[in-house]
Every structure is written in C-alpha cells, then in structure tokens.
Structure 1
Amino acid sequence: MSDTTPKNLANEIWQVADLLRGDYKRADYGKVILPFAVLRRLECVLEPTREAVLKAQERWQAKGVSPEPFLPKEAGYAFYNRTAHTLASIAGAHEDARADLHRYVRGFSENARLVFDKFRFAEQIDHLAEVKLLHLVLSKFADFDLHPSVVSNHEMGYAFEELIRKFAEESNETAGEHFTPREVIKLMVNLLLAPDMEEIKVPNMSRSVYDPACGTGGMLSAAEEFVLQHNPQGNVYVFGQELNPESWAICRSDMMIKNHYAENIKLGNSFSEDLLAERKFDYMLSNPPFGVEWKKVKKAVEDERDNLGYRGRFGAGTPRINDGSLLFLQHMISKMKPVHEGGSRLAIVFNGSPLFTGAAGSGESEIRRWILENDWLEAIVALPDQLFYNTGISTYFWILTNRKDPAHKGKVMLIDARDYCVKMRKSLGDKRKQISDEQIDEITRLYGEALTAASDPEHELHGKVKVFRNRDFGYQRITVERPLKLRFEVTEETLDEICESKPIARAFGDIEQFVSAFKPLVGQQWSTKAEAWDAIRRALVKSGLLWPSGSSFAKALRDVVGVRCPEGEVQTKKGEPEPDPDLRDFENVPLDEDIAAYMEREVLPHVPDAWVDHDKIKIGYEIPFTRHFYVYEPPRPLVAIDAELKLLELEIQQLIGKVAK
C-alpha cells in the first residue's frame, strides 16, 4: 500500500467488496470487511511477540500449568493468540481454510474472541467457504500492512470509522449514529479540556473520560491524546457504552491494542441498562444520534423517572418520544462527580431542537429549567452547517460543568462559530464543509476570551459572543383570557343543531316536540340571555313543555342559540366573566418582568377587557440562539433591482440574436 492515509487505507480495504459482489448483498459487505480488518490489525499488532507467546505456552504446558495467566506478559498486550496461524499461512495452505480460520479465531484470548462473537464472524467464515470466496478474501486481507509502525493507532481508528461510514451508507443506515468527523471531535475536546490546562499538566495526574454513545471510540481516543500531548506522564482512563455491536467490537479492539482495560467499554443501551451505573467521571463527551426515538426503552425510562425522581437520572422530565437527545444529557449529568471530589465537565453535540422544543411545562422545557437553575450550562457553541455525513442541519455544542469558576457563575456564553469553516473539494454524503486546524485554534481562543469579548465592544470578536444570566432564558407562560360575548337568535340552522344536540335530546326525549315548540321563534333575536331564555320558556309552556333542570341543558341550549358578537352581552360564571376559548391567547413574559406591567404595556392597549388566568401560569425555559445573533439586512433598493433586471433582459436579447443568426 503506497498511501496509508486513513481515507485511502479505508478505500483500499473496502475494495474487498468487489470480491463479494453477487454473493453478498451490498448491505452485508461490512459484515465481512469489518471483522477481517480487525483480525488483520490484531495479527499485525501481535506479530513481534508471536514466537515468544508460543514458546511460553509450550513451556508452561510442559510443566502441567495452564499458560493463560502468563501469556499477556509475553504478548505485551492484554490479549494474545495461542496458535501459529496467520491469515497468510491459512490462505497459502492446501488444507481446509475454513477449519484453520475457525481454529485461529478460537486461539485468541477470551477478551478478543468476544469481539469476533459480536461480529458473528463464525457465520461469515462459513458462508464465505460455501460460496468459495474464503481463500480470495483471506489472501486480500493478508496483503494489507496494518502494523503499528506503518499505521498508527490514530490512523487506524480513523480508517475504521471511515469503514463504518461506508457500511452505513451501503446499509442505508444513519452514519451519524456511528461517526463524528475528526475535526469536530478535535474542536469539542479542545473546548472541553482547554479550560483545565493547568490541572491537566500536573505531573502524574489521573483523569477519567466517558462517552455513553461511544461508537468506535473516536471521542475517547481524541480526549486521551489531548491530555497525553500536554502531559506525557498523565494517566487517562477511558470508559464507554455502545449499542451497536460492530462499533462496540471495533472500539473494544482499539482499547485492547492501546493496552487499556477493555472491560470499561460496555455493550448495551445506556438508558435501559446502564452498565457503569456506579461510576462518576472527570470528563464526558458524546455525539448521540439526532432525532432518534426512544420508544423501545420508554417503560424503563419512565419507571425510573416516576419511581426514583431526582435520585435517578430522569427526575427533571422526559422529552417527546421521537427525540432522546436530552435523555443522553441527563444521563451524563448523573455521572458528574460531586464538587467536593473535583466536579466534572461535559460536552455533547445536539441539533437545534433541544434549544427550544417544548412549551412551558413540557419535558424539554423542564429539563432546560433544571440545568439552568442549577447553573450547570457554561456555553453553547453554534457550528457551521453541513459538517456531518448524514445531515446538513446546524449543530451545537452544549458544554456543562458543576464547577464553574467565579467569573462564569450564573452566566451562559453563546458563541457563534457558524462562519468558521472551509468548503470541501469533494463532499462526503451531506458533509460539504470542514473546520481547519487554524479555525479550531481560533474558536478555542474565542472560547477562552468569550467573557472579555462580550464585555468589550472594541474587541475583534465582540459580535461572535453573547453572555446572558441563567434567568434570561426563563419566561412566564401566561394565559390571556377575554370575555365570552354573545347575542342570541333562532334560525333554521338553529333547529338543525337542536336535532343533533345529545344533551337536549336527553332532557326532552321527544326532540321533535321540542323543535316544534321552537319553530315560532325562528327569525327572532335578543341582545341578552335573560331575554332569550324568557322567550324560549314562554314558547315551551305554550307547547305544554317544562324547562328541564340541570346545567348541561342550559349550556347546550346556549351553544345553539348564542352567537359570538363583539358587541354582545358578557357571559358570566359564578359572578365572574366567562372566558371565550376562541379568543384565548398566550404570552411569554420574561421571568424578571412583572406580569401586570407587561399586560399594561403590551396587551391592554389593544384589548382592554383582557385578563390573566393566574392559575395557569407556567415557568418555561428556552434558548433562542439564532434570535440573539440575528442582524437585520434591509432589502435591496428597487432602483438596483430594476437595473439588474434590465441588464439581464439585454443579455437575453443578445443571446437570442446569436441563436437567430
């Protein structure tokens, strides 16, 4: 392989798909390519110590002692292989390649075998043998040089992510569930960790990092690299949980190669089966899938919410069923260390929905309220659109901490980084833009100087930052009522409505008799209910009918006889004006503003008879990011538009003239 850049490496490996075409569906290519790529990588990593492992195995077996406890030391890793097989030797032998490959995989230590079990690799081996492709695939992968001296762990991780992306494309799956662009990860790690640089540089310091939707482990690796780059003597312990078996297998194998404790990478749903329930972490970061419903874990989540409240993870509330993004954030908050133990910082990627979705009192609003009232939200950073492979929508970093420094307490920074990008020469899916290293450095600097930039109008980046108090995002959702005003009349349509009214039919039984009593009133109108009721009573008595008791009849009668009218009579209930549901309106009043003053200024000048139903006031929180950075652009002058149209007309006439000739 002449060019081992991660993208080219992934493309070369993916060319194995040419061998599979016809015998495999496109959606199944990855089921072969991914486990073989992992197998070849593990083989290359273990190659320098293979002979030492085999000799140690023979030595301990000769003594009648199980060799397993001693082989990791000989291998130099927490995993090993006890056979003399390689992909090349199996491909070149005349014996049964299927049986040899099965023996080779079973020869790995249990922690590595588990990776291949999750790939369901044995099934793929058997199928390849049945369609007579096993030797071809073995030979192809044996030729890939994936030794660490040729392909670093960083490059291999990137290549695996590219393979996952290709697999997702072929399967019509959501690549965003697996893969976050590396430059986005780098920026995210910078903003998460850079404020703690002094602590990170302390000799022999130890930090834990967690990702509840870790995919192939790209974010965990980037966080570890950042820390070790600034403190080679530091210790970083990574933890993660992943739902997708293929992504989990790649992440786990990567952790084994790096000599991390691979058992810290768990397979399962973080919501219904938190396999790191008792752990707290120094740093957390994640890119959970956008807009993915959580219906499968609805019962587990709601049971925890209802039974444990704030002692569990979801006490603040639950979002709508079609987007579980805020559940991930609550899950991560639950794993923050107490402040007296050093506290935690976390960063998460969201689309725009969690900023504002949900009215006051909804699950989303209550979650935002809980976060802001606890002063955990440090900043929101708006990113350029078209950064991700599976969506072109705008995305945001939310950065939270429970140990804000004094300058940030009670404040939230909004940072507009939407213009920090460059166009890609060739798009990848929906990804048409990327953030350059220089732009990452500039955004990181902007984040560090945000408070200064926001307070100094002369600062070059002043327009990119806004700083607000936590309470500035809160509002009072008030219900503005207006009185129900009616006039009263009987028409032919009224008689039809009476026939269809079930409460009136129940009151009289013989609805036809009631309608007959009403017919003489057709065409009459009354300005007050008292006048209308008096006329209707007289008509009923004249027909030998009595006025039924009960409020349901009176309400039903008013519904068919009453007509809304701005100059009509105000209807009352228990001595108070009755609100008209059709005129009901809602207003969002800033949290610190007096409701009466707001009504006096904004509502009563237009509708003097309006009032607020104080029993229905709700507190809500939303973060209208784009509104705060909106800059009005006046429309172009008509003269300029007219001149441009005339130029276009002239060009069209010239083109038509050329065609005519």
Structure 2
Amino acid sequence: MILPNESGFSFYNTSTYTLSTLGATDTRANLEDYISKFSSNVRVVFEEFDFFNTLVKLERAKLLYRIVNNFVVIDLHPNVVSDRVMSNVYEHLIRKFATSVNEKAGEFMTPRDVVRLATKLVLHEDEEIFMETGVIRSIYDPTCGTGGFLSDGIAQIKELSPTAKIVPFGQELDPETHALAMISMMIQGFETDKIKQGSTLSNDQLKTNKFHYGLANPPFGIKWGKDQDAVVKERADLGYAGRFGPGLPTIKDGSMLFLLHLVSKRELPENGGGRVGIVLSGSPLFNGKAGSGGSEIRRWLLEQDLVEAIIALPNDMFFNTGIGTYVWVLSNKKAVERKDKVQLINLSDVWSSMRKSEGKKRRYLKDEQIDDILREYDALTESEITKIFDTKDFGYRRIDIKRPLRAKLTITEEGITSLDEQNAFSKLKEEQQNVWKSFLTSELGDKDYYWAEEIVKEKSNTSNFGKATKAIATAIVNTFIVTDPELEVVLDKKGQVIPDTNLNDQEIVPLKQDIEDYFNEEVLPHVPDAFIDYSKRDEKDGKTGVVGYEINFNRYFYKYTPPRSLHDIDADLKASEARIPAMLAEVAE
C-alpha cells in the first residue's frame, strides 16, 4: 500500500524504464518489461487489449519505436487530458474504424448530453442529502462500456457535494471497453475490483450488492439468446426473489432484462432507497400484447409504483442510430406528490443543431436546455411538453367478444365432391367413402346444425359405413355448414349458446372502466347479439379479461394538423399549370 499512497493513485509502476528511455534496439523487450512492472490492476488492462500481440505486429512492421516516440512527446497526464476526453477519443476511433473490421461501432457509446440529462434527473431528488456532511453514495452501471456514465455521475455528485464519498461499481461484457473503464476509474483514484467483466444477464458478478444510483444505456435491439439458459433458469428457480420474476421479453430485444436487473439493484428504502436512470429505445414502452412478457414487465413496474418519469429524447441524438430514445427514471422512494403518478416529458422539439454531425448524431441538448428540462420535471404540472398520468391510465383489459353461431347444413353435390379434402374423411377406406357419398347424395337439401352428429351415430357400424367417429361428423359440418344472420341461434345440449368462431373479436377496455359499462356503451349498440366470454380471465387478479399495459407516447402528445383547404390546393394546381407552357417553350427553343 506504500506505492499507491505515495502516487495518489490506485496503481503504480516499479520499472526503471520510461517511454523516453526504452531505446531503439530492444524496444519491444524493454516495453514489455516496463508493462510487467505495473501493479496487477494495470496489467489486466493490457491483457484485455491483447497488447503484447500488438507489440509483436508493430515490431514486425518496424513501427514500434516510431509510435513510442510519438507518444513520448504527447502530454496525456490526467490533469491535461481528462478521463472523459480519453473515453471520447477511444469511442471516436471505434466509431470511425469499426466498420472496417465488421464490428458494431458505437454500440456502447452514450452521448455526453444524454448522460448529463439522465444523471441529473436521477440525482435531482437527492440534492438536499448532498448538503449534509459525510455522505456516502454508491453508483452502478451494469453495461458500463468505457465508464462514461460512471465518470459523469461521479463528476455531478462532486458538484453537489465535494466531500461526498463515492463508490462506483460496474460490469461490462466487452474486454477492451472494460479495460478502458478500469483505466477511467484508476485515474480518478477508485479501486478497479468493483468494475467487473462479463455478461451482466447470465453472470452478475455483483449479485448481493445494492446501489443508491443506477445508470445505464444497454444496447438497443440486441438478442439475448446467449444468456437465455441462465436467465430462464434464474426465473424458474427464484421467481420474484430473483431479477426476472415479472416476465421475459422476446428473444429479439434484451433491453427490458437490463431494466429489470437495474431495478433489482436499488438500495432498500430503509437504507436510503435507490434511483435509476436508463436509456431505452421505444420498444419497451409498448412491445408485446396483454399477458406477454413485455406487457407483464410494464405491469409490474407500474403496479409497484416504481416508474417516476419517462422522457422522450429528440431523434438523431445518438452516434449510431437516429431512432427515438427514452430516459426512464425509476425510484423506490417516490415523493408523496408523485405517488401512483407517472410524468411524461416530450423533448421531440427541444434540441439544438450540432455544427458538425458525429456519425448519426445531428442534435444535442445544451446545458441550459437540460436545466430547463429539470425545472419542467420538478414542477410536476402539465404543459405543452409534460403530461401527468395515474399509473393505471396505462393499463387495459383485453376481453374476448363472442357472437352466436347461426347456421345450418346444406347438403350439395358440389360439397360431396369436396369431402375428400377433409382429413378425417380421406382416411376412410374407399368403400366407406363411397357409401357415405351415396348416402349424402340421397339427402340433398337443408338440415339442422346437429344433423351430422345424429346421422353419424345412427350409421356407425351399420352396413358398409364402418365405424363412424366424431371426426366424420366434424368433416361433414365443415363441408356443408352455411351461416346466415337470419337463422336461429345454435344451442348446445345444455342450452348454452355456441359461439361462431369466425366472428370472434376482442375489445381493449381501459383498466379504470368497468367492462360491463364499456360493453353496453361501445359494443351492444353496434352488435346486439354479442356477448362477453367470461371464461377468459387474467392469471394474476382472476378477473374477466387479460390485463395489459402500454405507454403510447405518440397518442398522448399527438397534435392534430388540419389538411390544407381545397381552395389552397386548387390555387397551387393552377399556378403549376400556368408554368407548364413557359417550361415547354424553353425546351422547344
């Protein structure tokens, strides 16, 4: 511990070499010696970058000594080049050159303005806490990449309280980006043993830890098939005691798994509680129908009153995608005025243009705009860009609507010919088929719906009909059935209405509305013979209809734009027509 204390950092080097004294003849050997004398936490970084193989390649190309000398003259001291700038440099190089090696450039990069907004939203509610002395706060990013979220979170906590003790944690899948995150933490004086490498979903290396603040930008639309076995097993073994009890999303997008993971990592309320900020695409807002994994995850988050706010970012905010993105803010210690409420903030028209695009990033948020957004968030009142909802406003019940079967059987020669298309009938012996066809030919005309069932029972094992099963009756019904709304309703033997499966429908009923009232007001006036299928019930609350949740941002912030008047359109057409002769005249000249 003597050397770290002397250096002021959590790492050290005992080599007698420096970059400027490596020499031109044994450069690689001397550089390898120099690297080997670093403390173990730094050597891991070089290993994850596969640095020694890189040295071999540079030596073979006779470039090693020249490159070393280039670095000798560059001052990269952290007092000159901050860790965030170094991360930006690395990410710029990845974004610029990754396509040449078929990698997903920018997969882990979060623009600094997005990081700043998300971090400020998460920390904002705790500003009073940071006025106290001796504050200790943990901060965690389960997809930490190069450590940008952690670094900016640390910086903002220090702005609020220079004396606060900050303990950063993180985990990153990619070894090289994990190495850069370790460097970032080392330079800032933090221990690197809390920055883990591996898959967060299938190998959470901080299982027992809880954190005051969670921040993340998990990859958008990435399949989680490689983690599937471990995730499914954890859910089966632990249920709600684990991370994934509420449900599992489709295999195509694992971002909601990171959302559940991050929520599970919040510090307990009795220990100060935890707040989460996570950047997601639009998919987690609405993917999956009622009862699906995605819907059940939203349901659990909202029914547990964990969602505090969702902020829609402008398009073109990210380096590698122009799609719509959202910042979710979640908490297990909501303020009283936010209980059972969710605040939606729409920033689609709040942005500034960049002087020069960076990849697909053409827009950014100025610091002043971020401050305005925080004031909007803090006000908790509706405005042009803010809507306030009860958590149940996003819920609905999907009820099954049935209509009675009104049908008869009409035996026709054409139908008899097509009987062979019915699987059950085609399996009969040829002799039996001929007997049935002959019999049906003698019965041409209308029959009631149950005639087929009765005649099959009557003819079974008689003459050459052979054993006639219920499947034969079904084949006859399927071939000769005729539905007509003017016919009488078909009842089963218990007097219950048989539904017409071809007329099945579903209705989406707001969770706050009684399904009977909705049915009487919205369905019966249009379909008087419809009825609710009360057998379809929600697995959790046992009530009629399957509960679903979705958050439709576009609907809530939709602004109607009236179409242009016919007068204006006609005027434009006439103006265009007037220009045509002049244009033709120019061509003819």
The TM-score with structure 1 as length reference comes to 0.83
Q: Which amino acid aligns with 1:418?
A: S
Given candidates 559, 583, 606, the residue that maps to 2:503 is 583
Given candidates 274, 278, 291, the residue that maps to 2:208 is 278
Q: Which amino acid aligns with 2:576?
A: L
SS at match of 2:166: strand
Compared with structure 1, are the counterparts of its residues 220 and 521 closer, same or farther at alpha carbon in structure 2 (3 Å cutoff)?
farther
Matched residue, 2:16 = 84
Contact 2:221 2:255 in 1 (8 A): yes
Identity over the aligned pairs, expressed in percent?
44
Larger deviation: 99-108 or 632-641? 99-108
Residue 213 (structure 1) shift: 0.3
Runs of 4+ in 1 over 6 A off after TM superposition: 532-538
1: CA distance between counterparts of 2:60 and 2:296? Answer: 57
Contact 1:498 1:515 in 2 (8 A): no
Could you report, residue by residue, the CA deviation over 1:250-288 in whole angstroms, capped at 9, with x for unpaired residues?
A: 010111111101111100101111111111000111000
1: CA distance between counterparts of 2:292 and 2:400? Answer: 16
2: CA distance between counterparts of 1:535 and 1:409? Answer: 65
Compared with structure 1, are the counterparts of its residues 258 and 535 closer, same or farther at alpha carbon in structure 2 (3 Å cutoff)?
closer
Contact 1:176 1:289 in 2 (8 A): no
Compared with structure 1, are the counterparts of its residues 136 and 660 closer, same or farther at alpha carbon in structure 2 (3 Å cutoff)?
farther
Q: Does residue 123 of the first structure (1) align with residue 42 of the second (2)? A: no
Residue 381 (structure 1) shift: 0.7
Residue 572 (structure 1) shift: 3.2
Q: Which amino acid aligns with 1:467?
A: I
Compared with structure 1, are the counterparts of its residues 535 and 316 closer, same or farther at alpha carbon in structure 2 (3 Å cutoff)?
closer
Could you report, residue by residue, the CA deviation over 1:391-423 in whole angstroms, capped at 9, with x for unpaired residues?
A: 111111111000011100011111111111122
Contact 2:201 2:231 in 1 (8 A): yes
Matched residue, 2:541 = none
- Segments of structure 1 that go 5 or more residues without pairing to the other structure are 1-68, 455-461
Given candidates 296, 301, 306, the residue that maps to 1:371 is 301
Q: Does residue 303 of the first structure (1) align with residue 246 of the second (2)? A: no
Q: Does residue 551 of the first structure (1) align with residue 470 of the second (2)? A: yes
SS at match of 1:424: strand
SS at match of 1:407: helix
Given candidates 592, 604, 617, the residue that maps to 2:524 is 604
Q: Does residue 560 of the first structure (1) align with residue 479 of the second (2)? A: yes
SS at match of 2:337: coil
Larger deviation: 363-372 or 507-516? 507-516
Compared with structure 1, are the counterparts of its residues 228 and 640 closer, same or farther at alpha carbon in structure 2 (3 Å cutoff)?
same
Q: Does residue 645 of the first structure (1) align with residue 564 of the second (2)? A: no
Q: Does residue 615 of the first structure (1) align with residue 543 of the second (2)? A: no
2: CA distance between counterparts of 1:379 and 1:228? Answer: 24
Q: Which amino acid aligns with 2:480?
A: V
2: CA distance between counterparts of 1:537 and 1:618? Answer: 39
SS at match of 2:128: helix
Q: Which amino acid aligns with 1:638?
A: L
Residue 346 (structure 1) shift: 0.3
2: CA distance between counterparts of 1:606 and 1:130? Answer: 81
Larger deviation: 320-329 or 416-425? 416-425
Matched residue, 2:433 = 512
Q: Which amino acid aligns with 2:396?
A: Y
Could you report, residue by residue, the CA deviation over 1:52-105 in whole angstroms, capped at 9, with x for unpaired residues?
A: xxxxxxxxxxxxxxxxx4322333211112213233333xx2322221222122
Contact 1:336 1:344 in 2 (8 A): yes
Judging by fraction of residues, say which structure has more helix. 1
SS at match of 1:251: helix
Compared with structure 1, are the counterparts of its residues 547 and 590 closer, same or farther at alpha carbon in structure 2 (3 Å cutoff)?
farther
- Segments of structure 2 that go 5 or more residues without pairing to the other structure are 537-544
Matched residue, 2:76 = 146
Residue 224 (structure 1) shift: 0.8
SS at match of 2:125: helix
Matched residue, 2:542 = none
2: CA distance between counterparts of 1:355 and 1:385? Answer: 16
Matched residue, 1:486 = 407
SS at match of 2:28: helix
Residue 441 (structure 1) shift: 1.4
Matched residue, 1:4 = none
Contact 2:322 2:360 in 1 (8 A): yes
Contact 1:414 1:467 in 2 (8 A): yes
Matched residue, 2:255 = 325
Residue 304 (structure 1) shift: 0.6
Given candidates 334, 337, 350, the residue that maps to 1:404 is 334
Contact 1:360 1:618 in 2 (8 A): yes
User: Once superposed, what is the RMSD of the aligned Cα atoms?
Assistant: 2.3
Matched residue, 1:260 = 190
The TM-score with structure 2 as length reference comes to 0.93
Compared with structure 1, are the counterparts of its residues 537 and 245 closer, same or farther at alpha carbon in structure 2 (3 Å cutoff)?
closer
Q: Which amino acid aligns with 2:18?
A: T
SS at match of 2:126: helix
2: CA distance between counterparts of 1:342 and 1:392? Answer: 37
Compared with structure 1, are the counterparts of its residues 530 and 587 closer, same or farther at alpha carbon in structure 2 (3 Å cutoff)?
closer
Contact 1:474 1:590 in 2 (8 A): yes
Contact 1:212 1:240 in 2 (8 A): yes
2: CA distance between counterparts of 1:501 and 1:101? Answer: 80
2: CA distance between counterparts of 1:536 and 1:260? Answer: 82
Contact 2:289 2:548 in 1 (8 A): yes
Matched residue, 1:385 = 315
2: CA distance between counterparts of 1:490 and 1:129? Answer: 89
Could you report, residue by residue, the CA deviation over 1:316-370 in whole angstroms, capped at 9, with x for unpaired residues?
A: 1100100111100110111111111111110111111111111111111111111
2: CA distance between counterparts of 1:654 and 1:439? Answer: 50
1: CA distance between counterparts of 2:177 and 2:582? Answer: 60
Alignment of 1:414-425 (within 5 A): 414-425=344-355
Contact 1:165 1:179 in 2 (8 A): no
1: CA distance between counterparts of 2:575 and 2:354? Answer: 33
Compared with structure 1, are the counterparts of its residues 254 and 580 closer, same or farther at alpha carbon in structure 2 (3 Å cutoff)?
same
